[in-house]
Structure 1
Amino acid sequence: MVATISSYARPTRRQFLSRSASSAALAGIGCIAAPFLSRAADRPNISCGLQSGDVSSDKAVVWARADRAACMQVDYATTESFHNILGSRRVDALPESDFTAKLLLDGLPPGQDIFYRVRFDDIADGRFAGETQVGHFRTAPAVMRSISFVWSGDTVGQGWGIDPARGGLRSYRTMLDNRPDFFIHSGDHIYADCPIEAELKLPDGGIWRNIVTEEKSVVAHSLAQFRGNYKYNLLDDNLRAFNAQIPILAQWDDHEVTNDWSPIGSVDESGYDEHGVSRLVSRARQAFHEFIPMRGQPEQGGRVYRKVEYGPLLDVFLLDMRSYRDSTWNKGDERDPAFILGPVQLAWLKRELAASNATWKVITADLPIGLISLDAIALGDGPPSRREHEIADLLSFIKHAGVVNTVWLTADMHYTAAHYYDPNRAVFQDFAPFWEFVSGPLHAGTWAPGELDNTFGPEVRYEKGCSATQGENLAPCFGLQFFGHVSIDGGTEAMTVTLKDVDGRALWSVQIPPKPDARTGPVLSQHF
């Protein structure tokens, strides 16, 4: 649960102590109420760095994790010196959330650099405090100011973990060097189903040497193991440095739970709870919300899909193609129900797209539209079938509702590509042309480009992945790790999308001029 600065009431020490059977139990979690606490080792500290997320013009979530039960103290200001503190807030980090804590800061000034400093105080006696760390984010502008962001997905997959000798998770350092306003993580933050081994042989004869932890050495089933996957990634210096400076907009895909999961059928030996919910999925969902700095929606079962407004130029629509899908692997009789968004999410997306006044509407999807996969949307050439009906319905709605300037972003496929969807090339033609960009992995095995179908008429404008001679699951050290960079000009309102590699090289780029919105009149100042 995210505590807001306007409504959060911190539990008293008496309330916290009552949760434990004895003071001995408190000692086991590192929170003895002792007036003689003095050694640095006895003070609570930050264990996994800082993060911020879901940043808009006046709000942001701040996250940290303590090494024991503690109270998180957050001060935030518009200068790094903290001479003009905007506010100070507190929230407890307790065992039931694995000592993670989140605060929703609101009432922030738009278009402003915000610096926040975090420390953990002893929960029984606030006089004893740990180290302080400082983070940063920038709120969305309220005016037509140029903005930029990066996106990608797929971190620590296929057994390729953190090898310090090879630079660790290098993509995060490269993305930080781009100094974007924010980062969209398109899913597969972790690979809960991909254990890490100490060593892997490389095709050139070298050895990849992973940092190994107990919780990351097995396929995740328990809540502790799912949490351990997130903590493993946060061992990397590049990721922690990136998180402290760049806010994240996060969605999830399959590997946060298990490969190709769906709500029904993805279980382990623990089965389903009394409400028919997979216990495996519930544990994975809890760990995701504990470790990701996003606004909580507990009244909706931890909903992941949402809209984030980033000023007059941009609205971001983050989808969830996992939690509401059918479990048929996108095959079977056409008469069977088939969906990947579900009726509630689809209705929400239509409503929010139609209501958006932003110049650009970026739809971030877990999966691409036109790449053939039994786990995704596309089934092969021909008219819409099964899950494709939802996409056809959505694309037709976008056209007839007069929604303009939609761009789709995704990762998942472990290569990078630019696809242009043209109704003149398509079997289903009742939609307006649009772009879809694919970019990943951040740090995982790289694959060869996939096959597109002609249902919605995608054309490959660029793609880069493994070659036939390189084979599949190519290690990150061979340089085929990718992310995308998007910039929107505050004057022309044009969007430029650039596909980049782990070394920051621009591989391909396109500038997309905005189309006039019939509801607000023509876009002014288009200079190209």
Structure 2
Amino acid sequence: MTDHDQLSRRTAVTAAAATAALLPLAAAAPASAASPSPAASPAKGAAAGPPEFLHGVASGDPLPDGVLLWTRVTPDPDAVPGSGRGAATDVVWEVATDRRFAQVVAHGTVRTAATADHTVKADVRGLRPATAYFYRFTAGGRTSPVGRTRTAPAHDAAAGHVRFGVVSCANWESGYFSAYRHLAARADLDAVLHLGDYLYEYKSGEYPEFKEVVRPHSPAHELRTLADYRVRHGVHKADPDAAAMHAAHPVIAMWDDHEFADNAWSGGAVNHQPDTEGSWARRMAAAKQAYFEWMPVRPSTAGTTYRRLRFGTLADLHLLDLRSFRDEQAKPGSGAVDDPGRTITGRAQLDWLKAGLERSDTAWRLVGTSVMISQVAFGSVPAHLLEPLAELLGLPKEGIAVNTDQWDGYTDDRRELLGHLSDRGIGNTVFLTGDIHMAWANDVPVKAATYPATAPVATEFVVTSVTSDNLDDILHVAPGTLSLPAAAAVRAANRHVKWLDMDAHGYGVLDVDAERTQMDYFAVSDKRDPAATSTLVRSYRTRSGTQRVERSDAPVR
């Protein structure tokens, strides 16, 4: 894979129905494998009519000359997600410089069918850099909602700044997606970066562990088949807050484990039992097909999402796939975490990342990593707090200080990557992370044990979950109570950790300019309230050339 795969300056406009290369799987999952989503199903006895757009519109992966457009058409009432039913349908797409479509600058037609779950993707090129556009779809006389998108700055443009919303970990059953609504309301974002766990595979009531279900999953059973994954993607796209975010901004998405199954690796997952649930390869292929059908994402190569996007001379954004190539997680406390034969990235991806970081000529090198790269030890966390922390971080509850699902479980890959930054003098590298339902601001040294004598080579901003449970949820206590001694103990044992918040749910806003990269951390008032408000919690930045985080007194403007 090369940068040309993502940044070619073709002027032709191309369009294709989603994931054509993966379509042979479509026949593998019978329609009866999943029940339709209530949010996406027609009323019983509904008469056939013109095609409808029930799942909104989306865009993603902005380039200087183009963007990927997405929608799903429902050609008749029976053609619900995962059903395998419905006629092939021609869908027209249009891109304009104005919301009324008086100035249409590009258009085309995509034919979609049940083999692609009636999803539509149009990879539009020939647009102007750093420009806002409006887009829509039509089929059978019906018109979709209008979406707004934005192209990236030109390759050599010295943009003043770029600004991203940043989110991760949106468990449907744990609450409402108010974080998405607040991001949709912002007019100052170039894109939204989704760092993984866009959805969860569990059956209803299985997660969170304490069975507080705010709104039930559909299908109610655990996702295993192509139809299952399609249904749940359909539920998420029909959510009004998710639909608003997708319609307002291009979304740059990467996956983590729950798009497949908990703690997924190349050959299996904790939440997959081959003796009762069949082939892992087949399940993972089904999940990937549904993901590429339903998400506004260009697959960089068949079956993976690692890719690179550029935002003028300010930033290269490297997006990692840390599930498709990794070895199985080691047992915590075992010497296997240091085994040089084990990998989280796979050899090809790690070489691609190192080469991209080294040859980058932008002011900043951003790396989307779905799991935390900073080293974490726990020291003397009180026993009554260690167990819920262990649950969040994937640790054994007796207190071994390594989360082997993170880079802590693959120390040779981390040592090679961070050593590469140090040895080659590669500065201004910022890791952007989700996964663990807490917000962190970290320096990233090669050896955390000798920090600060060992200087950091990068920084890391970790955003909390949109809804997925964190410490106060698990303990059923008020935020800012029991989490305070736990956070203090973690910081005492990890001097490179400058701040963490174990309780909040929300999102981040990342602003990048030539002088600094800053993350503003926002919390929603109550994830169980569909009208939740949003409040700024903290702001941290890293100044150019420092490789260190520091608190900022003011959010980005």
Out of 368, 391, 403, the residue aligned to residue 364 of structure 1 is 368
Q: Report Cα offsets for 1:122-172 as digits up to 9, x if no partner.
A: xxxxxx322332111111223323221111201125x325xxxxxx32111
| 1:326 maps onto 2:293 in alignment | no
Q: Take 2:102 and 2:299, find their aligned partners in 1: how far apart are those partners? A: 31
Q: Take 1:55 and 1:280, find their aligned partners in 2: how far apart are those partners? A: 30
Do the aligned residues in 2 keep the contact of 1:425 with 1:454 (CA within 8 Å)?
A: no
Question: What residue in structure 2 maps to residue 104 of structure 1?
Answer: 123
Question: What residue in structure 2 maps to residue 511 of structure 1?
Answer: 541
Q: Report Cα offsets for 1:430-466 as digits up to 9, x if no partner.
A: 77432211112112222367886999x6522221123
**AA aligned opposite 2:260:** V
Quote the offset at 1:493 in angstroms: 3.5
Q: Take 2:408 and 2:132, find their aligned partners in 1: how far apart are those partners? A: 47
Q: Take 2:438 and 2:325, find their aligned partners in 1: how far apart are those partners? A: 26
Give the secondary structure class of the aligned counterpart of 2:55.
strand
Question: What residue in structure 1 maps to residue 352 of structure 2?
Answer: 348
> Scaled by the length of structure 2, what TM-score is found?
0.72
Against the structure 1 CA distance between its residues 385 and 90, is the aligned structure 2 distance closer, same or farther, given a 3 Å change threshold? closer
Q: Take 1:445 and 1:9, find their aligned partners in 2: how far apart are those partners? A: 38
Q: Take 1:58 and 1:94, find their aligned partners in 2: how far apart are those partners? A: 28
Quote the offset at 1:194 in angstroms: 4.2
Against the structure 1 CA distance between its residues 385 and 454, is the aligned structure 2 distance closer, same or farther, given a 3 Å change threshold? farther
Q: Take 1:4 and 1:65, find their aligned partners in 2: how far apart are those partners? A: 26
| 1:242 maps onto 2:263 in alignment | no
Q: Take 2:55 and 2:536, find their aligned partners in 1: how far apart are those partners? A: 31
Larger radius of gyration: 1
Q: Report Cα offsets for 1:270-295 as digits up to 9, x if no partner.
A: 634xxxx6111111111111111111
Question: What residue in structure 2 maps to residue 137 of structure 1?
Answer: 149
Do the aligned residues in 2 keep the contact of 1:51 with 1:64 (CA within 8 Å)?
A: yes
Quote the offset at 1:413 in angstroms: 0.7
Question: What residue in structure 1 maps to residue 53 of structure 2?
Answer: 46
% of aligned pairs identical?
A: 25
Quote the offset at 1:314 in angstroms: 1.4
Question: What residue in structure 2 maps to residue 78 of structure 1?
Answer: 97
**AA aligned opposite 1:438:** V
Question: What residue in structure 2 maps to residue 172 of structure 1?
Answer: 180
> Scaled by the length of structure 1, what TM-score is found?
0.76
Q: Take 2:11 and 2:256, find their aligned partners in 1: how far apart are those partners? A: 27
**AA aligned opposite 2:443:** Y
Question: What residue in structure 2 maps to residue 459 of structure 1?
Answer: 496
Q: Take 2:109 and 2:103, find their aligned partners in 1: how far apart are those partners? A: 18
Quote the offset at 1:41 in angstroms: 4.9
**AA aligned opposite 2:459:** W
Q: Take 2:347 and 2:314, find their aligned partners in 1: how far apart are those partners? A: 28
Give the secondary structure class of the aligned counterpart of 1:148.
strand
Equivalent residue pairs, number: 446
Against the structure 1 CA distance between its residues 330 and 430, is the aligned structure 2 distance closer, same or farther, given a 3 Å change threshold? farther
| 1:307 maps onto 2:308 in alignment | yes
Against the structure 1 CA distance between its residues 4 and 481, is the aligned structure 2 distance closer, same or farther, given a 3 Å change threshold? farther
Give the secondary structure class of the aligned counterpart of 1:244.
helix
Q: Take 2:462 and 2:65, find their aligned partners in 1: how far apart are those partners? A: 30
Q: Take 2:16 and 2:153, find their aligned partners in 1: how far apart are those partners? A: 30
Question: What residue in structure 2 maps to residue 30 of structure 1?
Answer: none
For the aligned residue pairs, the C-alpha RMSD in angstroms reads 3.6
Out of 472, 483, 505, the residue aligned to residue 507 of structure 2 is 483
Quote the offset at 1:333 in angstroms: 4.5
Against the structure 1 CA distance between its residues 89 and 437, is the aligned structure 2 distance closer, same or farther, given a 3 Å change threshold? same
| 1:293 maps onto 2:296 in alignment | yes
Do the aligned residues in 1 keep the contact of 2:96 with 2:106 (CA within 8 Å)?
A: yes
Question: What residue in structure 1 maps to residue 201 of structure 2?
Answer: 192
The aligned runs of 1:18-33 (5 Å cut-off) are: none
Q: Take 1:230 and 1:401, find their aligned partners in 2: how far apart are those partners? A: 42
Against the structure 1 CA distance between its residues 263 and 454, is the aligned structure 2 distance closer, same or farther, given a 3 Å change threshold? farther
Quote the offset at 1:259 in angstroms: 0.8
Q: Report Cα offsets for 1:159-211 as digits up to 9, x if no partner.
A: 325xxxxxx321111122333111111100100124269x9999xxxx86525
Q: Report Cα offsets for 1:64-119 as digits up to 9, x if no partner.
A: 00113322211102222222211101112210111111111112100111111112
Do the aligned residues in 2 keep the contact of 1:338 with 1:386 (CA within 8 Å)?
A: no
Bigger helix share: 2
| 1:160 maps onto 2:174 in alignment | yes
Do the aligned residues in 2 keep the contact of 1:409 with 1:436 (CA within 8 Å)?
A: yes
Q: Take 1:265 and 1:112, find their aligned partners in 2: how far apart are those partners? A: 43
Give the secondary structure class of the aligned counterpart of 1:225.
helix
**AA aligned opposite 1:507:** V
Do the aligned residues in 1 keep the contact of 2:50 with 2:142 (CA within 8 Å)?
A: yes
**AA aligned opposite 2:116:** S
Give the secondary structure class of the aligned counterpart of 1:133.
coil
Quote the offset at 1:362 in angstroms: 0.8
Q: Take 1:91 and 1:431, find their aligned partners in 2: how far apart are those partners? A: 53
Unaligned runs of 5+ in 1: 11-18, 21-38, 122-127, 162-167, 467-479, 518-528
**AA aligned opposite 1:81:** R
**AA aligned opposite 1:390:** D
Q: Take 2:324 and 2:447, find their aligned partners in 1: how far apart are those partners? A: 33
Quote the offset at 1:248 in angstroms: 0.8
Against the structure 1 CA distance between its residues 371 and 103, is the aligned structure 2 distance closer, same or farther, given a 3 Å change threshold? farther
Quote the offset at 1:256 in angstroms: 0.7
Q: Take 1:53 and 1:101, find their aligned partners in 2: how far apart are those partners? A: 13
